Chains A and B, each alone.
Chain A
Amino acid sequence: MINKEFFFKGFKSILAPDSPALALGCCFIAIGALLKNLGFNIQESIFSTMLTYALPGSLVMAESLLVGASLLNIFLAVWFVNARLYPMAVSLFPLMMHKSQPKWKYYFSCHFIAVSAWLIMKSNYKDIDKKHRIDFWIGIGCATWTTAVIATFVGFYASDYLDKNMMMGLAILNPIYFLCMMVGAMKTIQITASVTLGFVLGPIFYFLSPEWSILLGGLVGGTIAYFIGELNVN
């Protein structure tokens, strides 16, 4: 089963002074308030965060519902926006794969892949023995997921007290936190080039195709950055 020592070590990482709990919590407070304003009840709001646990996807679903989009449209729109989770998973799980660990842990814990948990794991995995990294990851995932669910609950009931300007303040918090984390992660040429090119190409591709801009920006920027890094090593 799950090694408790490493699980709680991962869970406690959310309490670190520079943890994403604050940014994550504030954004899901905004989501909770938004869902209430869209007519969701408390059960639906909590259910949405528990099952989706991806902020851009929840926003797209909310906006699609507002304009009366079909289920197929919602599926495709969310899939486009959340397709970034695929390269995130492929760049994280090989670091945690160990033959002594059962497969169900990997299948179950992939639900926790989100920017906050991913960045925490990326900056801490070297300190954890490979055999126990999956337990550490499940701890991180449970902590960030619980934070998101509690914040949605708080946001739902606090929505009557939040005016539009305060909602904007909460909404900017998450991109700023992740921006700082990404800039902080720029320690190698490959990562620096990946982040810089992603920032530049994402908005440029938006003018060609808003739906594909994130994926195209990531694919083109990441591939160029990869070759820059490989040439540099050679």
Chain B
Amino acid sequence: MSTSVVLAILVTSLATFASRFLGVISSQGIKENSKLFRWFNCLAYSTLAALIARTIIFPVGVLSDSSYLSRIVVVLFCLFIFFISKRNFVYPTVISAIMMTILSNYL
């Protein structure tokens, strides 16, 4: 590694904390029932959805070595489990890990 690990960690934490801290500073003048708050609420949900979609469709790290087909099969099956289990979060989550481990061997 050409760059010092500790410096990289410090820079990463600084870049991350900046967004969080600026968010808190900006929050101070915003009322929870204002239009601005509702707009930011929509932005937050939409940004998270975009992040999740990107993580699944264009992943980085170890997940990028898995096939599109295996990821799509896991996502669709887990959403199916989520709905038939009356919106239980645990079953689809556990099943996703097991399915992905098995499917990445074959797909």
A: residues with CB less than 8 A from B are 17-18, 20, 22-23, 26, 30, 34, 38-40, 44, 47-48, 51-54, 56-66, 68-71, 74-76, 78-79, 82-95, 97, 106-107, 110-111, 113, 115, 118, 164-185, 190-191, 193-203, 205-206, 210, 213-215, 217-219, 221-223, 225-226, 229-230
Contacts and interface: CB of A to CB of B under 8 A. Distances in A.
Contacts of A106: 24, 27
Contacts of B28: 97
B: interface residue count bin: 35 or more
Contact of A190 (B38, B82, B99): B38
A131 B82 CA distance: 35
B15 A199 contact: no
A202 B50 contact: yes
Contacts of A169: 96-101, 104
Interface of B is mostly: helix
B26 A90 contact: yes
Contact of A82 (B16, B27, B71): B16
B3 A198 contact: no
Nearest to B77: A176
Contact of A57 (B15, B27, B30, B61): B15
Interface of B: 1-3, 5-24, 26-28, 30-32, 35, 37-63, 65-66, 71, 74-75, 78-79, 82, 87-90, 92-94, 96-102, 104-105
Contact of A179 (B23, B62, B79): B79
Contacts of A30: 61-62
Nearest to B91: A180
A87 B23 contact: yes
A171 to B, nearest CB: 4
B42 A225 contact: yes
